[in-house]
Amino acid sequence: MKQFSTIVILILAFSITGMSQRSKPTIHFENKVHDFGEILEENGVVSHVFEFTNNGEQPLVIHNVRTSCGCAAPEWTRTPVQPKRQGTIKITYDPRNRPGNFNQSITIASNAEQGQEILRIIGTVTQGARPIEEIYRREIGPIRLKHTNLSFGRVPKGTQKENSVEIINTSQNPVTITFARVPDHITMEAYPQRLQPGQEGIIRGIFNSEKTDEWGFVNTHMQVLINGEQISNNRISSTATVEEDFSSWNEEALANAPKIEFSQTTFDFGEIKQGEIINHSFIVTNSGKSDLILRRVRTSCGCTASNPDRSIIPPGQSTSVPVTFNSRGRSGRQNQSITIYTNDPDRSASILRLSGVVIQ
**pLDDT tens digit string along 58-110?**
999 999 999 988 777 899 999 999 999 999 999 999 998 888 999 999 999 99
Kindly indicate the confidence band of residue 15, based on its pLDDT and cuts at 50, 70 and 90: very low
Q: Specify whether the CB–CB gap between 83 and 76 falls below 8 A.
A: no
This prediction has a pTM of 0.63
pLDDT at residue 137 greater than cutoff 90: yes
| Overall average pLDDT of the 106-134 stretch | 89
Helices marked H in the chain: 2-23, 132-135, 251-255
Residue 8 scores a pLDDT above 90: no
What are the CA-CA distances from residue 137 to residues 131, 143, 187, 209, 234 (Å)?
10, 11, 24, 30, 14
The span from the CA of 257 to the CA of 316, in Å, is: 13
Residue 110 is predicted with a pLDDT of 93
Burial class (CB in 10 A: 0-12, 13-18, 19+), 202: middle
| pLDDT score recorded for residue 305 | 66
Average pLDDT, the chain: 89
Q: Which residues is 334 bridged to in the sheet? A: 356
The DSSP bridge partners found for residue 273 are 359
Least confident range from 109-113, 221-225, 291-295, 299-303: namely 299-303
Write out pLDDT tens, residues 244-258. Answer: 999 889 999 999 999
pLDDT of res. 82: 94
Query: pLDDT of 97-114, one tens digit each?
Result: 888 999 999 999 999 988
Q: For the chain, list the domains and their CATH numbers.
A: 23-126 (2.60.40.10), 132-243 (2.60.40.10), 251-359 (2.60.40.10)
pLDDT digits (tens, 9 = 90+) for 205-215: 999 999 998 99
Phi, psi of 211 (to 5 degrees): -95, 10
pLDDT score of 304 more than 80: no
